[in-house]
Each structure stands twice: as structure tokens, then as C-alpha cells.
Amino acid sequence: MTSSIMFSIAYFLLLVSLYMRMRYRQAKRHNRFIYLRTEMVLFCLFVYTNILFYLTVFPNRFSAPRDQVSVNLIPFHSIDQNLHAYHHGYPNLVFLNLAGNILLFVPLGFFLYQTFRTMRWQKAVLAGFILSAMIEVLQWIFSQSGIITRSSDIDDIILNTLGTAIGCIVYQMYRRRKEKIR
């Protein structure tokens, strides 16, 4: 096994044990019951956000070469470039960038809307927007300091926010279907 895989496994196991300990102590301190369904959804949200940060902030195979690191503050500019690349025979680039950014945030909308049932979908989408903007700022800061080589792009924020909204819609459809079955 490579050292990055070993580090990832150790990091994940450490976070899982810290999370479980924190939730147990919190429930014990407030004399609350621990509901398995709620804990599983919160745990999935916790694991998802850690994987999300691992994929987007830490150095990995998606990191760009140092000479290709850029900042795009023009909305829809890189989306237009990706669609242009698609028409010139690079469909993998389009799927990785456009669909990947959308699909990466669909679980966030689903888990947020499921975990916090009183939350309106607008707040879940706003949370997705804020998390995406935070990731892009971290990518820019870490790229400037030389820690990672990632590009920051306003279009990533747009696509990630769209993914969060789609996740909310998927959860609403799931909930309606579940209610019909009852």
C-alpha cells in the first residue's frame, strides 16, 4: 500500500472514533436517547463531508500541474470552455468537471435535508453554497502557499450549489414515495 492510502485510512479511523466518542458524550451529558436512524444519517453526513474535503482540499490525483493553477472569477467561463472541449472530442473532461462537481454535492443536499427535517430547502442550498465557497477559498489559499496545486473557480461554486439543490429534490421525491408506500 502507498503511504497516502495508509494515511487516508488512519485519518478516517481517527475521525470516526473521535466522532463516535463526541456523539456518545454529548448524548450522555444531556440525558438524551440515541436514535439509531438519526445517528446513522449524521454519521453518513460526517463521513461524506470528510471525503469531500479529502477530494477537494488535500493533494490527490485531481491536483493540477503547477503551471495550470488558475483562478476564475467570471461566471460560466469554465463551463463554456468545457462545453467547447466536449465538441472538440474531450467528453471525459466535461464529465469530470461539470458532472463531477454537480454529483459531488448531491449527497450534501440529501443528507442535510434528511438530517434537519425542519430545515427549508433554501437553507440547505445556502449551506451547500457556503461549503463550496469555503472549499474554493481553501484551494486558493493552499495553492498560493504551495501546499496543493488546485484551481479556484466560481463555476465550481455554481455547479456545487446546483448539486446541493438536486440532492434536496431527490430527498423530497424519496420522502413522498416513502409516504405513499405507508
Q: What is the pLDDT of residue 74?
A: 92
Q: Which residue has the higher pLDDT, 68 or 31?
A: 31
Q: What is the pLDDT of residue 62?
A: 61
Q: What is the pLDDT of residue 68?
A: 67
How many CB atoms sit inside 10 A of residue 14's CB?
10
Q: Give residue-wise pLDDT tens across range 112-152.
A: 888 887 788 899 999 999 999 999 999 888 888 877 778 88
Is the pLDDT at 90 greater than 70, yes or no?
yes
The mean predicted confidence, pLDDT, of the chain is 85
Q: What percent of the chain has pLDDT over 70?
A: 90
At 161, the pLDDT band (50, 70, 90 cuts) reads: very high
Is the pLDDT at 4 greater than 70, yes or no?
no
Q: What is the pLDDT of residue 95?
A: 81
pTM, two decimals, is: 0.82
Q: Which residue has the higher pLDDT, 84 or 107?
A: 107
Which of 173, 165, 134 shows the shortest CA–CA distance to 53? Answer: 134
Answer yes or no: are the C-beta atoms of 151 and 143 closer than 8 Å. yes
How far is residue 122's CA from residue 147's CA, in Å, rounded to a whole number? 34
